[in-house]
């Protein structure tokens, strides 16, 4: 089955190419970025001798001629105008941007005016553990953000035990690749190396995404207090969630609850020791650990921000949309050591 | 004034040597470790041509003959038996271990049986911003732990605004030097590099230290929920504190409160942007930032774990105990970039 | 076809397990280390839910009952006594240690007394680009060292143009995983991070290995002056070779020579820009770049020290020994970014 | 004595500020960059509460009104037009750019047309170990490049023993701060981290600088073959020099020769074990190690690229020009660990 990748220059575009090269069913037929006119081996020298395909200037009609499904690894806003065209031409879309993740009001409050109001309501949020049946029938997937993927997978199974009148805190720690390949003071080596700091505390746009999905799935209004930090590593993400339990005499085995919740989900691993970033780097796994101290709850989850937080999760969604097993071509072997 | 350093092999011992070399008043007269029989330039090759002194096998009588004040950079337990001897010989002691930081009961619960019950009550907790007058008169200083230093300086000024019936969470992130120079799986390069993880969640021995000092200073019983993490950096510490405010309609300017609290303390800097580790690395500064989201409070502090979290704070204490200005010989210039 | 891995605890053992899990022909039937009595998921937590097999205490007879071919990821010396038993029981061996890499005299000069003199002469040096036909027929492969792999692949094609009366210098730079998983001062995070240094200059045991293979393949006596350095990275290796050209008026296109030499070798890539470590990390590739300045020659090669420098090269050898295509199950997709 | 720093935004400008804050004789009276209109604490947040001075838009007349000596931490070309004005106004200049390092012909061949031909011949090359008496009398110092500083200090004492008809190779390894604070693909965290590569092999503009100074000081025409590499560290530099000895039967003690050469130079340390970067980070030291293998010579030197390779060496020069001891205010205590 032929697929297209639009937005091949960035990190998530590269990850998609790398995953699809070895995929047993999908064939990369079309790759595009905003300029075209370059071979993919020049664009990404690590691909030399592995895949030989020209990178085109993105054109929706060309996509429709070449592929049944397209991955959009585009910036917010650019993505929705391109998705709109593709959908009208009958191409299925997995959108890695934020453009279809939120309901219209929330989107316009935190991002900008929406340009594809027809489709925003039809988009399925591509968190496979919670929306699998809808994903199978979808034409448009809103692939979750990296922080929401790690946060929701950790928090949702335990939300009923949490006092949602008390603040829920998420201290999230991301590798620098989460900030993309663009040049900025933030991603200069001298700024990141041997350093660590929070950024946009309580103001990151993944905060409403987490809140909205808890509302959709659990019918609870929660206030998520989200503080992202940058780590001096390239890839990987560690999310530390702190919440108040409803009842401090509770003798609940939270590890057991997590295991039961995810017993049929092969890409979630419940750990009995604190999770680390390296055990999930290079994979689609989300590892989760939980501990409690009186009425205080700590949940820690780890993912690869570029894979489970973007490209491999997008591929799981594409597998499901195409009638394949969700796990085909999805990486499990970590970059350890 | 002649001083001694006992425990010269580790990181905090080295930092003490480096600080004292350039100190305008103190002279290093005696350096010891557990084996002796080596020159300090062999023990620490970075000191070649800078200081020339033999490292002795630690002996309390020799210390007393040579120095009026001794810094103990020894492991817990070893420290108290040595301190006891030094005090009986009239030598003032700044103890960097945990042995005199807690009251007896708490100490014996979290560490081991105490061997110097006569002195434990007389020890002054060496957090200069809160115990300056006592420090000036003290013969024995219990130098605070690195996590408690960064946590208490950030939390104490705002504790009255916090709902202490709700859990207070501390997500602390430390450079690897906090784990010392000893060989362990934890500190192997392949384990730390490109990685991040929590360890001993809710079980670290700095948790009761933080709680006890809040009780002493603010007469409040609080439950600190402390989760330390290791960062892939050598030195530095970032502490992220999450708490619930008493009243969510509160219009308090927390930045202003912090500035007022510390207006006469030259080693505290209140930041209007999130603090980072690098701006305090190499210095005795504690940088603090605060933000609020409804009734959720976020306080972030940054210190150099080996300096403000150990050796430069010990030297501030020694300055005060010796009648000097607290800031002489104390570093302010950060390792940036 | 059933295979065994002996020495599963270290980095190269782990890499073998990871590669074999996805191999289309080989099945891991037996895994051992020096103690046994543990499941592989406990030994390597990153393998949780991926492979479920008990790790045995290494026993040659058990290997022979279970597998036709064994990978030995053991320390020097331990390896030869185990290999000897396996060969006598009819098991083919790929030995990742140094025990069969050198001729007897050189081995005993640089390592220790050899304990399997019958087999040392029959071992084939497992550098597939140069010994492919012999490897196909071999029962015992001496898998090359990491430094020799990167050095020989870069140097051999150009040796005829080099003035071998002048010294050849190899400035090699290795990630820390090359020093193994054992605890040592060398591999402590605080020693490596933000640091770089040479070690054992002109004295490393890979120096005679490089010299001997040049003699065997090109019948030239060369003096290799080998200086290894450690880099603050976990995996990967960059080798910079400096040599004097025979004739400084030479107008030879060295890039073209490299391309011609390796045109039928899919795991060598000749680069027109300087090679970097990341483009080969996670793969079996050796990337090579060459430049010249009058009669001065610079050749730079990059490999993953744990893969092309150990485990994936071992697997290429096993493929060839077993009558398979050399490239099955061999990784090409790099850990970029 | 009042001094000015022109070019305060970059790394070397910041290092100058940091050094001068604690200098016992010099007072920073004027700081400028290309835009002005900012306080130095905003420009460099790590300086908060340490120094309070406005950053001006660079103006030569203002400099002359305020200072007797100016440090120029400006880009090549910008520097010479500013230096020219300052010199005509009677201000002494220490220029950290390349503009006065070379003779006119070499400069114009490798850089651009020179705009201050009157002064280029009068500039003194600021390598204190070799030009101390000239520096004391100079009005204009050309502060050496980082690579030449480390290379020349290591190579000059042994050049007479080297066969200069054979190529001399310099494999230099620099921390990323050497590439400056400007944004570029090269300095993006994702490009540098876990990576290492050479750049501009045989084409770097520090190559002619090294050659010219050997000619000036030793009257030898040598061909330096210079290959710089970037290391995944922020600061520090390791230079590995490979050369052929004139006579391979030579029984010379090269360590002794180095010690004799530099016995009166307090900022050079001759090491008996291979040098490392960390032991010189944060200091003005140049550490040197030498080893030999038959007629092959290996010299390894380590400096802090921003200090001995730029700002602290500039300050040594300023000390000498001002009649002070060369070592006042010059750092010796390394950033270890």
- Tens place of pLDDT per residue across chain C (337 aa): 999 999 999 999 999 999 999 999 999 999 999 999 999 999 999 999 999 999 999 999 999 999 999 999 999 999 999 999 999 999 999 999 999 999 999 999 999 999 999 999 999 999 999 999 999 999 999 999 999 999 999 999 999 999 999 999 999 999 999 999 999 999 999 999 999 999 999 999 999 999 999 999 999 999 999 999 999 999 999 999 999 999 866 789 999 999 999 999 999 999 999 999 999 999 999 999 999 999 999 999 999 999 999 999 999 999 999 999 999 999 999 999 9
B187 vs C contacts (CB less than 8 Å): 188-190
Q: Is the dihedral of CA B242, B247, B249, B252 positive or negative?
A: negative
The residues of B assigned a catalytic role are: 146
D194 vs A contacts (CB less than 8 Å): 234
Chain B, residues 151-210, CB within 8 A of chain A, namely 166-167, 169, 171, 173, 190-191, 194-199, 201-202
Which residue has 């208490």 as its token pair?
Answer: B152
Q: Do B46 and D235 touch (CB under 8 A)?
A: no
pLDDT-based confidence at residue D247 (cuts at 50, 70, 90): confident
Q: Tell me, what's the pLDDT at C248? A: 60
Q: Tell me, what's the pLDDT at C144? A: 98
Q: Do D296 and C223 touch (CB under 8 A)?
A: yes
Q: Residues with Cβ < 8 Å from D179, sequence gap 6 or more?
A: D186, D187, D230
- Cross-strand partners of D32: D6, D56
Instruction: Dump pLDDT digits (tens) for B301-322.
Output: 999 999 999 999 999 999 999 9
* C55 contacts C298 by C-beta, under 8 angstroms: no
Chain D, residues 43-72, CB within 8 A of chain B, namely 44-46, 48-50
Q: Residue B180 has which token pair?
A: 């010392």
Instruction: Among C171, C201, C295, select the one facing D291 at the smallest CB separation.
Output: C201
> What's the CA gap between A120 and A100, in Å, rounded?
5
> What's the CA gap between D188 and D191, in Å, rounded?
5
**Candidates C112, C146, C196, C286; catalytic one:** C146
Residue D142 sits at φ, ψ, to 5 deg, of -95, 105
Neighbours of chain A (3+ CB pairs under 8 A): B, C, D
Q: Do B46 and D234 touch (CB under 8 A)?
A: no
pLDDT at B133 over 90: yes
Shortest Cα–Cα distance, C180 to chain B (Å): 9
pLDDT tens for each residue of chain A, 337 residues long: 999 999 999 999 999 999 999 999 999 999 999 999 999 999 999 999 999 999 999 999 999 999 999 999 999 999 999 999 999 999 999 999 999 999 999 999 999 999 999 999 999 999 999 999 999 999 999 999 999 999 999 999 999 999 999 999 999 999 999 999 999 999 999 999 999 999 999 999 999 999 999 999 999 999 999 999 999 999 999 999 999 999 866 789 999 999 999 999 999 999 999 999 999 999 999 999 999 999 999 999 999 999 999 999 999 999 999 999 999 999 999 999 9
Q: How many CB atoms lie within 10 A of CB C122?
A: 12
Q: B323: buried, middle or exposed (CB in 10 Å: 19+, 13-18, 0-12)?
A: exposed
A166 vs B contacts (CB less than 8 Å): 166, 244
The enclosing H or E element of A94 equals: strand A92-95
Q: Tell me, what's the pLDDT at C251? A: 85
Q: Do B201 and A227 touch (CB under 8 A)?
A: no
Residue A228 sits at φ, ψ, to 5 deg, of -85, 150
Put simply, whether A337 touches C (Cβ < 8 Å) is yes
Neighbours of chain B (3+ CB pairs under 8 A): A, C, D
Q: Residues with Cβ < 8 Å from B312, sequence gap 6 or more?
A: B15, B19, B283, B284, B304, B330, B331
C337 vs A contacts (CB less than 8 Å): 11, 14, 177, 181, 234-235, 306
- Cross-strand partners of D269: D287
pLDDT at B274 over 90: yes
> What's the CA gap between A312 and A213, in Å, rounded?
20
Model confidence pTM above 0.95: yes
Q: Tell me, what's the pLDDT at C249? A: 67
Q: How many CB atoms lie within 10 A of CB B230?
A: 22
CA angle in degrees (0–180, nearest 5) for D254-D256-D258: 70
Select from D165, D176, D190, D196 the residue whose CB has the most chain C CBs within 10 Å, as the one to mutate to test that interface.
D196
Closest chain C residue by Cα to residue D276? C197
> What's the CA gap between B246 and C282, in Å, rounded?
52
CA distances from C312 to A335, C307, C321 (A): 14, 4, 14
Chain A, residues 65-124, CB within 8 A of chain D, namely none
> What's the CA gap between B309 and B128, in Å, rounded?
12
> What's the CA gap between D102 and D125, in Å, rounded?
9
Half-sphere exposure (Cβ direction) of A131: Cα atoms closer than 13 Å: 25
Q: Tell me, what's the pLDDT at C250? A: 73
* C241 contacts C168 by C-beta, under 8 angstroms: yes
Put simply, whether D231 touches C (Cβ < 8 Å) is yes
A199 vs B contacts (CB less than 8 Å): 274
The residues of A assigned a catalytic role are: 146
Instruction: Dump pLDDT digits (tens) for C256-302.
Output: 999 999 999 999 999 999 999 999 999 999 999 999 999 999 999 99
CA distances from D33 to A94, A141, B223, D92 (A): 48, 50, 50, 19
Q: Tell me, what's the pLDDT at C318? A: 98
DSSP D187: G
Q: Do C166 and D169 touch (CB under 8 A)?
A: no
D223 vs C contacts (CB less than 8 Å): 293-294, 296
Domains within chain D, CATH numbers bracketed: 2-143+310-321 (3.40.50.720), 147-303 (3.30.360.10)
* D288 contacts D270 by C-beta, under 8 angstroms: yes
Q: Tell me, what's the pLDDT at C190? A: 97
Instruction: Among B198, B274, B276, select the one facing A300 at the smallest CB separation.
Output: B198
> What's the CA gap between B205 and B215, in Å, rounded?
16
For chain D, what's the residue count? 337
Shortest Cα–Cα distance, D210 to chain C (Å): 16
Q: Tell me, what's the pLDDT at D82? A: 97
pLDDT at B114 over 80: yes
Put simply, whether D41 touches B (Cβ < 8 Å) is no
Q: Tell me, what's the pLDDT at B29? A: 98
A337 vs B contacts (CB less than 8 Å): 190-191
Q: How many CB atoms lie within 10 A of CB D165?
A: 12
User: What percent of chain D is modeled with pLDDT above 90?
Assistant: 99
Closest chain A residue by Cα to residue B273? A199
Q: Tell me, what's the pLDDT at B247? A: 80
Neighbours of chain D (3+ CB pairs under 8 A): A, B, C
Q: Residues with Cβ < 8 Å from B274, sequence gap 6 or more?
A: A197, A198, A199, A201, B289, B300
> What's the CA gap between D275 and D288, in Å, rounded?
6
B8 vs D contacts (CB less than 8 Å): none
pLDDT-based confidence at residue D248 (cuts at 50, 70, 90): low
- Pairs of residues, one from chain B and one from chain D, whose beta carbons lie less than 8 Å apart: 58
Residue D18 sits at φ, ψ, to 5 deg, of -60, -40
Q: Residue B274 has which token pair?
A: 């999130």
Q: How many CB atoms lie within 10 A of CB D39?
A: 15
Closest CA to C97 of C198, C6, C27: C6
Closest chain B residue by Cα to residue D280? B46
Shortest Cα–Cα distance, C184 to chain B (Å): 7
Put simply, whether A278 touches D (Cβ < 8 Å) is no
Strand C54-57 relative to strand C27-33, pairing: parallel
């Amino acid at each position: 089955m032929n697929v297209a990748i639009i937005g091949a220059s960035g990190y998530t575009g590269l990850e998609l190419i790398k995953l699809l090269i070895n995929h047993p069913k999908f064939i990369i037929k079309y790759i595009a970025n905003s300029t075209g006119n370059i071979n993919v081996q020049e664009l990404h020298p690590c691909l030399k001798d592995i895949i030989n395909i020209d990178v085109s200037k993105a054109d929706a009609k060309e996509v429709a001629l070449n592929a049944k499904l397209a991955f959009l690894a585009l910036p917010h806003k650019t993505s929705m105008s391109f998705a709109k065209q593709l959908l009208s031409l009958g191409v299925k879309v997995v959108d890695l941007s934020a453009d279809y993740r939120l309901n219209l009001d929330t989107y316009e409050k935190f991002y900008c005016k929406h340009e594809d109001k027809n489709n925003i309501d039809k988009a399925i949020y591509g968190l496979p553990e919670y929306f699998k049946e809808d994903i199978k029938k979808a034409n448009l997937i809103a692939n979750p953000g990296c922080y929401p993927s790690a946060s929701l997978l950790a928090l949702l199974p335990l939300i009923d035990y949490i006092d949602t009148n008390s603040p829920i805190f998420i201290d999230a720690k991301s590798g620098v690749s989460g900030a993309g390949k663009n040049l900025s003071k933030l991603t200069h080596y001298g700024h990141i190396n041997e350093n660590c700091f929070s950024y946009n505390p309580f103001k990151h746009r993944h905060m409403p995404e987490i809140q909205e999905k808890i509302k959709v799935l659990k019918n609870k209004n929660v206030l998520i207090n989200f503080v992202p930090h940058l780590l001096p590593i390239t890839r990987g993400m560690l999310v530390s969630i702190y919440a108040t339990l409803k009842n401090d005499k509770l003798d609940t085995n939270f590890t057991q609850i997590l295991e039961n919740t995810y017993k049929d989900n092969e890409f979630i691993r419940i750990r009995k020791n604190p999770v680390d970033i390296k055990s999930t780097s290079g994979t689609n796994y989300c590892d989760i650990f939980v501990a409690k101290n009186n009425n205080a709850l700590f949940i820690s989850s780890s993912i690869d921000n570029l894979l489970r937080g973007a490209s491999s999760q997008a591929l799981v969604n594409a597998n499901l949309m195409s009638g394949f097993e969700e796990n085909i071509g999805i990486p499990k072997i970590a970059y350890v050591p």
